[in-house]
Chains A and B, each alone.
Chain A
Amino acid sequence: MNVLEINKLYKRFGDREVLKGLDMMVPEHSIFGFIGKNGAGKTTTIKIILGLLKQDSGTITVCGQKVTYGDTKTNRYIGFLPDVPEFYGYMNPMEYLNLCGEITGLSKNKIKSKSEELLELVGLKDEKKKKIRGFSRGMKQRLGIAQALLNEPKLLICDEPTSALDPIGRKEILDILSAAKGKTTIIFSTHILSDVERICDYIGVLHDGKLALCGTLSEIKENYRHNEFVLEFGSEKEASIFEMLDELKHPSIRLWRSGNAVKVLLTDDRMDGSFLLSVLSQKCLVPLKFAVVEPTLESLFMEVVQ
């Protein structure tokens, strides 16, 4: 089942069209990495899902229920963590979670037990009676996760939760999100690709108002694998001999050499690695290493976005 379905979503600000028919599905119990450049429209999409902005056209359903602008009914399924969460500085975490709980309509006892549990989870147990005013960015982000998980949402939306944090803070947030995975579905918008590779199982790349790439990480890598190989030789001489072979002088074969390594890209679909292996055995060249180049998320991203 899909927790979130977006169909043909359009949104324009003035004469800048941000979303141009976005289609997106998020399956249950996945961590969906929502990737895009700054200004690609990630936050806009999220705000429309939350009913904070009005789309020009298109439909969104959350847990099978349609989202209508200005009405916040579907938000009871959603927990939201903004990129820079802001709280009332004069409150302490317990007071803030209490306010959130009262708004969602949880019972007093439930609020108390759930707040304790969540503050423990995000590591703010010792700060629960301190004013939020003095909190660091990372602490606010962690409190943000706690408030987002308070109503046990079916869908947790995090808008660039790690962008402004130091490496330790980032790791902690990612760990907390991974831990929450069993209980909820997570949409994780970001432009930090290493974070995505670390925890996401589905990804969608937003580019030019549409999803330019969508699927599981391994599926996408499979589809975008090129006939690209790296051969490492014992010496530079061997490498340059290989580079200069007449068999490889063909417009569909491209070679780059740096030191004793040669990178080969076969652009002709009829050719594959066995062709290179046969050339090597003909010439009695034995490389130290022969490897198929796996596309990285970064190279995929660059390819799609350019």
Chain B
Amino acid sequence: MKGYLAFFKKEIFEYIKTYKLFIMLIVFAVFGITNPLVAKLLPEIVRNLTTDGIIITLPEPTAYDTWTQFFKNATQIGLIVTMILFSGVLSSELSKGTLINLLTKGLSRTAVILSKYTSMALIWTISITLCFGLTYGYTAYLFPNNETSNLLFSVFCLWMFGLFLLATLIFSATLTKSNYGCLLMTGIVVVACMIMDIIPAMHKYNPISLATDNMGLIMNSIEVSSLYSAILISLLLSLLFVLLSLAVFRKKQL
């Protein structure tokens, strides 16, 4: 436990000192602010670009548009940035040999994996909360009369999907030697989820539903209860991946 706490503190300290936390916060804050802005201004921009003879009619922007922006940016660019930033979570320490020193001090390998996973999860949580908070506040200001449903639940689903991806990432990191291998394996898992999504019967259980059904939830076209299985599966898979990475890392020759 003392090893876990000490190493967790070191991880957070590292994210601060190497500007990784800063980058995450900036990226997600920029999304948070631009989401409502883009939704509000896009029709204006398009209108100004129209030349004679072509008439483009766009509906008045609503809060739904800002949340479309939110889920598009956060899921696509946001998660990709997160994965790239964290891809060296183990490989950089192993290739440089910084971890060896601490392991020979009696730091347990379990503590290494657990503190790395939880610190990544914490940073992901802070970032997505920041992004959500900014978008929420700004949307309320720009579109005061718009109502959305299941908003918090929908963001929760996205957050859960992030945790699932981070678990995949740490498991990949224990299996591969380089950060590219780690990114590749995580990518393969995502692609596998997407391919499985082709089968309609699988959609209910597929973790990727947590990142694709968000707009449906907000517009009430998708039932909240239809995502319960996917949440459970993601939770179990995340747990499984973390446990597997513990098992693999304990037997890894360093």
Contacts and interface: CB of A to CB of B under 8 A. Distances in A.
B2 A102 contact: yes
Contacts of A85: 97, 101
Interface in A22-67: 47, 50, 52-54
Contacts of B2: 102-103, 105
Given A52-B100, A88-B98, A90-B17, A103 B109 contact: no
Interface in B151-177: none
A203 B18 CA distance: 44
Interface stretch (A72-80, A205-213, A244-252, A280-288): A72-80
Contact of B6 (A90, A102, A144): A102
A52 B250 CA distance: 10
A76 B107 CA distance: 10
B103 A87 contact: no
Report the interface size class on chain A.
20 to 34
Given A82-B97, A88-B98, A99-B6, A53 B104 contact: no
A87 B2 CA distance: 20
Nearest to B16: A90
Contact of B253 (A53, A80, A144): A53
Contacts of A50: 103-104
Contact of B14 (A53, A76, A88, A147): A88
B253 A54 contact: yes
The DSSP consensus for interface residues of chain B is: helix
Nearest to A99: B10
Given A52-B253, A70-B250, A147-B101, A104 B106 contact: yes
Q: Which of B102, B106, B251 has the most CB of A within 10 A?
A: B106
Contact of A100 (B96, B97, B105): B105
B220 interface: no
Contacts of A105: 2
B99 to A, nearest CB: 9
Interface string B88-122: 00000000111011111111110000000000000
Contact of A90 (B18, B100, B102): B18
B7 interface: yes
Contact of A103 (B13, B14, B102): B102
A294 interface: no
B3 interface: yes
A197 B101 CA distance: 28
Contact of B254 (A52, A84, A95, A100): A52
Interface in B239-254: 250-251, 253-254
Contacts of A102: 2, 5-6, 9
Contacts of B101: 80, 82, 85-87, 100, 144, 147
A151 interface: yes
A76 B18 contact: no
Contacts of B103: 50, 52, 72, 75
A109 B104 CA distance: 23
Contact of B106 (A75, A84, A90, A95): A75
Contacts of B10: 88, 99
Nearest to B7: A103
A99 B9 CA distance: 9
Contacts of B14: 88, 90
A149 B126 CA distance: 38
Nearest to A84: B97
Nearest to B111: A103
Contacts of B106: 72-73, 75-76, 103-104, 151
Given A53-B253, A90-B14, A99-B6, A78 B102 contact: no
Which 6 residue pairs are nearest across A and B when measured between Cβ atoms?
A: A102-B6, A90-B17, A80-B104, A86-B97, A52-B254, A103-B107
Interface of B: 2-3, 5-7, 9-10, 13-14, 17-18, 96-98, 100-109, 250-251, 253-254
Interface of A: 47, 50, 52-54, 70, 72-73, 75-76, 78, 80, 82, 84-88, 90-91, 95, 99-100, 102-105, 144, 147, 151
11 contacts: A52-B254, A72-B106, A84-B97, A86-B96, A87-B101, A88-B98, A91-B17, A99-B6, A102-B9, A103-B3, A103-B107
